[in-house]
Structure 1
């Protein structure tokens, strides 16, 4: 019965999404992706570019020849730096046009306890992972509303619902993105009757097979398998192609995690111990990228070898 209701609700939602508002059209829309040089971001960029869409990438890294996707406009930008972002936005409009699709994907992580984190590291993660999404939406949304056409995709994480030890700032930033998505969705009007022409989509994946979380061990590969970023990018594109809004949680267990938030603390505590989630980051390594020594917020952050500064 539960499976039937789930399928019925999904089909009803798919029909509603298709009928209400716009859907992505490669020949019509301009796509802006933050953190699009590596990891999931690069897969998203490649997917949209393959469909002949005009794609813009904002990333603190400059792509290597190997990473570069053909016919994509790259702009080197620290999206967590508001003033820099404002200037790049002006340049993007002049050189490419006004984006109608925004995919906020940029993210960095540092696997340390809160006591071990430097103040600058905390600020850097919050600026890149969370505040950057506020900045980009505030810059791009007015033009979307004027054109009555837009899509805002927020790449959060299942860790925004249940965060392991040693990823406090990362988890907090992802929780903030989930709250941002929810509030923004209803600022635009009820999802079932949104007349603005702007849709929102939240994506909460589990652990991805990227350099972002090298060394992180998922409790069980059967229940919590690592996700292929190409598969996640395909799911995002397919959802936008039919005008879907709401959220995408991957893999299956990601849909169950919010339920744990409603359980009494002793059940939730027991589930954490059984899953081993708080030990999963013990061997967190990450991979330092070409922009490890990031000049941000007026100071240089030199990452030790147990950190990762890689766009998701």
Structure 2
């Protein structure tokens, strides 16, 4: 008898629980851009078109041949520029071997963090989750994840748990700061306690974990730090003042930490990744409608997790923004004030929470991001 195959729990994505929708609901600008990136905008495909024209004995002086060659050169130049730009911004990738890494995820019981933890658990990685939510021993064993009961907003608890992780698994080398809560309420209805709790979980926790786990990475001379912020950190939104402010702080924190690590002698192989997703299909903002399914579709947690895992395992630093509009949201800030106002009205960013009925309700907590 061979070794018994380990059975792993599986749960279908939430979209499978919903009734089928018309085909055009699945057509989004993200899908179109994805297809174009691997066809018309891809340098290899562009040069294949040139070769096809030559196979038909098309003369070089013909207009269609000149256009094809010009386009191929432009796409090749774009790709080369991007490679050099990323190299300058994020440096050379570090070598990553999962068996030699210790991954720490805050808020890793549910949502995006839970998906990351379970994915790495299935791959037998050394994974530690810091969360207040309880997980049974049987469930933890099935997922192959070690769960530590920890309030990441409490510096002393984080320091104590870090010592346990170092003894149980080894020195932490990958930190995914994902924990987050939201209190959808107007600033007039908020209390000092509400705001403090939001910042403790969403912002102060990052300071706690960075101060605690970064020394381990410097000691190992390698590491990756993932900061999960939100597209709302760039925008702000009515009835989400404490949440958006706490996420905006993470944008500045990420850039500051990246600059400090670059100045440390042992920080050469410590990479930083900033994640700024748009609205994800999790419980956190369930019921909030996007202004356009075509231009601003919901981001599936699996798509965000896939991008994070890809950068982490390639040993690269970078910035992740999903869906497509999240990549260009900063452009809104340089537009004339009147245009910004019109765009916000069209998008409904300041009325979405009120219309969804979430405003001033009980705390909605989910280890995820919007």
* Structure whose residues are more often strand by fraction: 1
Partner of 1:84: 157
C-alpha displacement of 1:147:
1.1
Which of 245, 270, 278 matches 1:172?
Answer: 245
Q: 1:226 aligns with which of 298, 317, 324?
A: 298
1-structure distance, mates of 2:78, 2:321:
14
TM-score (norm 2): 0.73
Structure 2 gap ranges (5+): 1-70
Cα deviations by residue, 1:200-241 (Å, 9 ceiling, x for unpaired): 000111111111111211111111111111121111101112
2:274 corresponds to 1:208: no
1:71 and 2:127 are equivalent in the alignment: no
- Greater relative contact order structure (CA < 8 Å, 6+ sep): 1
Please, which of 202, 206, 217 is the counterpart of residue 129 of structure 1?
202
Asked if residue 251 in structure 1 is aligned to residue 323 in structure 2, the reply is yes
Query: Which of 349, 361, 364 lines up with 1:277 in the alignment?
Result: 349
Q: 1:245: Cα distance to partner?
A: 1.0
Note closer, same or farther for the CA distance 1:23–1:114 as it changes in structure 2 (3 Å cut).
Answer: farther
Higher helix content, 1 or 2: 2
The alignment status of 1:182 with 2:255, answered yes or no, reads yes
Other structure's SS at 1:206 match = coil
CA radius of gyration, larger in: 2
CA positional deviation for 1:14: 5.7
Q: CA deviation at 1:160?
A: 0.8
The one of 233, 241, 246 equivalent to 1:160 is 233
Give the alignment's Cα RMSD to 1 decimal. 2.7
Which piece of structure 1 moves more, 150-159 or 8-17?
A: 8-17
Per the alignment, residue 41 of structure 1 pairs with 113
The alpha-carbon deviation at position 52 of structure 1 amounts to: 2.1
**Is contact 2:185–2:361 with CA below 8 Å preserved after alignment?**
no
For residues 58 and 4 of structure 1, do their structure 2 counterparts lie closer, same or farther at Cα, with a shift above 3 Å needed? same
**Deviation of 1:305 (Å):** 4.0
For residues 274 and 283 of structure 1, the distance between their equivalents in structure 2, rounded to whole angstroms, comes to 14
**Distance in 2 (alpha carbons) for counterparts of 1:85 and 1:76:** 10
> Which of the numbers 172, 175, 183 marks the counterpart of 1:102?
175
Q: Secondary structure at the match of 1:260?
A: helix
Structure 1, gaps ≥5 residues long? 287-302
Indicate yes or no: 2:366 matched with 1:310. yes
Q: How much has 1:144 moved relative to structure 2?
A: 0.6
